[in-house]
């Protein structure tokens, strides 16, 4: 049985596997079409397309500017791997959290360098589940590219994939403009995966829930989304040796600042005055002004 602490380790590996599925979206006709969908019918339209064209039973709701989609699985979300996935860890990423209050972003994390450690994972994402997720993305693509322009129209979509037998739950939250950018080749598939905020958790309430009754649907907060993406970028960065300098030469605080700066610049966010970062592992705290955070990187 998978443990709660080991679930996050699936995310970097899943992203490599998901790239293959996402490429199938690229070949679709992306020419703008006449507006067919509106905020009033977008949720029911996703459900209808999924049922009639892909034989999927979904639950969908539009809450504020966030389109929620619940995909209950009959099959397991994880299956045994034919070949264990092995990796080398050089850092211990325990946590990261941020809060933006009174124009100051306080970002606290616990990241420390450790001796190289080999890790092995005997489970993998179920390819059959992946195919269903890809069909959901096709439905979203259909409605997004023929959605009538509206003030305060949808700007996020969240897909919750639930293993209704075992209680595992995968949640993906995407900024709709990022989906458009990747399909128009304005950003790479790898960058798109960095921008889609993912979470995997064990949710016993999902067992047997085919209607998403255990979920609390809400309108995704933009600032919260940015902070969650910062956390995700750091988690991925410190789980991949190729994303960092060689051991012994990594300035953890510098890498944290780079990830935060990247997110702010992507979304042109400047509604803050100060950034305070604090590493619980080293007890090192550094403060930056907005100008220092947003200045052009010399690297």
**φ, ψ dihedrals at 228, nearest 5°:** -65, -35
- Helix or strand run (H / E) with residue 123: strand 104-125
Q: Are 244 and 250 in contact (CB under 8 A)?
A: yes
DSSP three-state, residue 109: strand
pLDDT computed for residue 19 by the predictor: 47
Cα 91 to Cα 251: distance, rounded to the nearest angstrom:
12
For 228, half-sphere exposure in the C-beta direction (CA atoms, 13 angstrom radius) is 16
pLDDT computed for residue 198 by the predictor: 95
Query: pTM for the full model?
Result: 0.89
Q: What are the structural domain ranges in the chain?
A: 4-78+123-228, 93-116+230-294
Q: Which mean pLDDT values do the consecutive 10-residue runs of the chain (299 residues) have? A: 54 49 51 76 97 97 98 94 83 95 97 87 90 94 90 96 96 96 91 94 96 97 98 91 70 95 97 97 96 76
Q: DSSP letter at 221?
A: P
Most distant CA pair in the chain, distance = 57
First to last CA, the chain: 44
Q: Which residues contact 101 (CB under 8 A, 6 or more apart)?
A: none
- The Cβ of residue 198 has, within 10 Å, a number of other Cβ atoms equal to 21
Cα 297 to Cα 257: distance, rounded to the nearest angstrom:
11
pLDDT computed for residue 16 by the predictor: 44
> Is residue 158 classed exposed, middle or buried when 0-12, 13-18 and 19+ CB atoms within 10 A define those classes?
buried
pLDDT computed for residue 117 by the predictor: 85
- The Cβ of residue 121 has, within 10 Å, a number of other Cβ atoms equal to 16
pLDDT computed for residue 29 by the predictor: 53
Q: Are 99 and 108 in contact (CB under 8 A)?
A: no
Reading the block at residue 211, the tokens are: 């209607």
Beta bridge partners of 177: none
pLDDT computed for residue 98 by the predictor: 98
- The Cβ of residue 192 has, within 10 Å, a number of other Cβ atoms equal to 20
Strand ranges, E, within 26-102? 59-63, 66-73, 78-101
pLDDT computed for residue 17 by the predictor: 46
Beta bridge partners of 161: 71, 170
């Amino acid at each position: 049985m998978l443990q709660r602490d080991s679930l996050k380790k699936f995310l970097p590996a899943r992203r490599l596997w998901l790239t293959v599925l996402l490429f199938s979206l690229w070949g679709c006709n992306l020419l703008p079409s006449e507006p067919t969908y509106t905020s009033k019918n977008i949720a029911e339209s996703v459900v209808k397309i999924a049922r009639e064209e892909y034989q999927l039973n979904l639950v969908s709701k539009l809450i504020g500017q966030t389109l929620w989609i619940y995909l209950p699985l009959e099959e397991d979300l994880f299956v045994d791997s034919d070949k264990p996935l092995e990796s080398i860890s050089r850092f211990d990423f325990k946590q990261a959290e941020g809060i933006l209050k009174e124009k100051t972003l306080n970002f606290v994390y616990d990241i420390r360098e450790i001796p190289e450690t080999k890790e092995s994972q005997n489970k993998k994402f179920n390819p059959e589940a992946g195919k269903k997720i890809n069909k959901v993305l096709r439905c979203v693509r259909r409605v997004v590219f023929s959605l009538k322009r509206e003030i305060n129209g949808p700007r996020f979509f969240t897909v919750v994939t639930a293993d209704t037998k075992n209680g595992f739950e995968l949640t993906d939250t995407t900024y709709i403009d990022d989906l458009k950018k990747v399909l128009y080749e304005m950003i790479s598939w790898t960058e798109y995966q960095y921008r889609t905020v993912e979470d995997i958790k064990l949710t016993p309430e999902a067992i047997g829930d085919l209607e998403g009754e255990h979920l609390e649907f809400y309108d995704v907060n933009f600032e919260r989304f940015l902070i969650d993406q910062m956390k995700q970028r750091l988690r991925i960065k410190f789980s991949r040796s190729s994303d960092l300098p060689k051991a012994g030469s990594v300035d953890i605080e510098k890498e944290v600042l780079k990830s935060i700066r990247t997110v702010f610049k992507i979304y042109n966010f400047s509604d803050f005055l100060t950034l305070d970062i604090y590493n619980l592992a080293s007890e090192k705290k550094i403060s930056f002004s907005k100008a220092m955070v947003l200045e052009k990187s010399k690297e």
